Amino acid sequence: MSAKIYQEVVNALESAGASMRCSEMAALLNRLGFEVRDGKKAGHKVFVHDGLPGFHSGSYTCGHGRNPEIKRAYIGKVLRVLHQHETELIEFLEQTHD
């Protein structure tokens, strides 16, 4: 089940194109156990994960306005973090969901 959750999140990000909304990104990251916080500047988001040793934080920027879209480059950046920590994320999900 935990590998399925991870793959669902990755698939959603890979198929998002340029239409991913800021709230959708936060919800997807939350499913994997990340905590998403506001950054220092408007529209900046920082995500952290207490269950990933060696991972400090990642970030992305949302556009402006109500529930803005995220540029494709930031989606790619988040995907690289997820791929880099795939094994640890799946292990974390197994411990918390099973």
Residue 98 pLDDT grade (very low, low, confident, very high; cuts 50, 70, 90): low
Find out whether 79 and 47 touch, Cβ atoms under 8 Å: no
Residue 37 three-state SS: strand
Q: What is the DSSP letter of 18?
A: T
pLDDT of residue 66: 78
CB-neighbour burial class of residue 4 (10 A; exposed 0-12, middle 13-18, buried 19+): exposed
Residue 9 pLDDT grade (very low, low, confident, very high; cuts 50, 70, 90): very high
Residue 55 three-state SS: coil
Query: Which tokens is 49 given?
Result: 């994960």
User: What does the pLDDT look like over 43-94, one tens digit per residue?
Assistant: 899 999 998 988 999 999 987 777 788 989 999 999 999 999 999 999 999 9
pTM: 0.91
User: What does the pLDDT look like over 22-48, one tens digit per residue?
Assistant: 999 999 999 999 999 999 988 899 999
